[in-house]
Amino acid sequence: MTYPGKGRADYLELGDWNAVCYQCGRKRKASYLVKHWQGYYVCPEHNEPRQAQDFVRSVPDNMTPPWAQPMPAPLSRLCFPNGQTAYPDYAIPDCAIPDFVSPFFDPSIT
């Protein structure tokens, strides 16, 4: 007797060949094996369907608003007469004029 012994797939069938089941390792004819969803060939009794949850698709979550606009430019600083004067504690940056005292200057307004 020769090693390995003859099995159920050891017969001549024209156009067919012997192959091994990926799951159990038994020798079968290639035409008997079926392709598993992962790409390898197995016996029909070892074939399992693909899990249905593999095909679930979620609803696309579009986070963009329907429209948008840029922020408005900052308002220019209002320069009041007290802010235009050159007196300390009354002058406002970008409004004060050097050596200038407004005729409308009121020291009671801070």
Contact 82, 90 (CB under 8 A): yes
pLDDT at 73: 78
Q: Show me where the domains of the chain are located.
A: 18-45, 78-110
Q: Is the pLDDT of residue 2 over 60?
A: no
Q: What is the pLDDT of residues 22-38, one digit of tens each?
A: 998 889 999 999 999 99
Residues present in the chain in total: 110
Average pLDDT, the chain: 86
Question: Which bin fits 92, alpha (ψ -120 to 50), beta or left (φ > 0)?
Answer: beta
pLDDT at 85: 85
What tokens does 26 get?
Answer: 């038994």
Q: Is the pLDDT of residue 17 over 70?
A: yes
Q: What is the pLDDT of residues 44-97, one digit of tens each?
A: 999 999 999 999 999 988 899 999 999 887 776 678 888 888 888 888 887 888
What tokens does 51 get?
Answer: 């899990």
User: What would you report as the CA-atom Rg of the chain, rounded to the nearest whole angstrom?
Assistant: 44
pLDDT at 38: 92
Q: Where are the alpha helices (DSSP H) in 15-109?
A: 81-84
pLDDT at 108: 82
pLDDT at 79: 80
Of 75 and 11, the structure prediction assigns the larger pLDDT to 11
Q: Is the pLDDT of residue 43 over 60?
A: yes
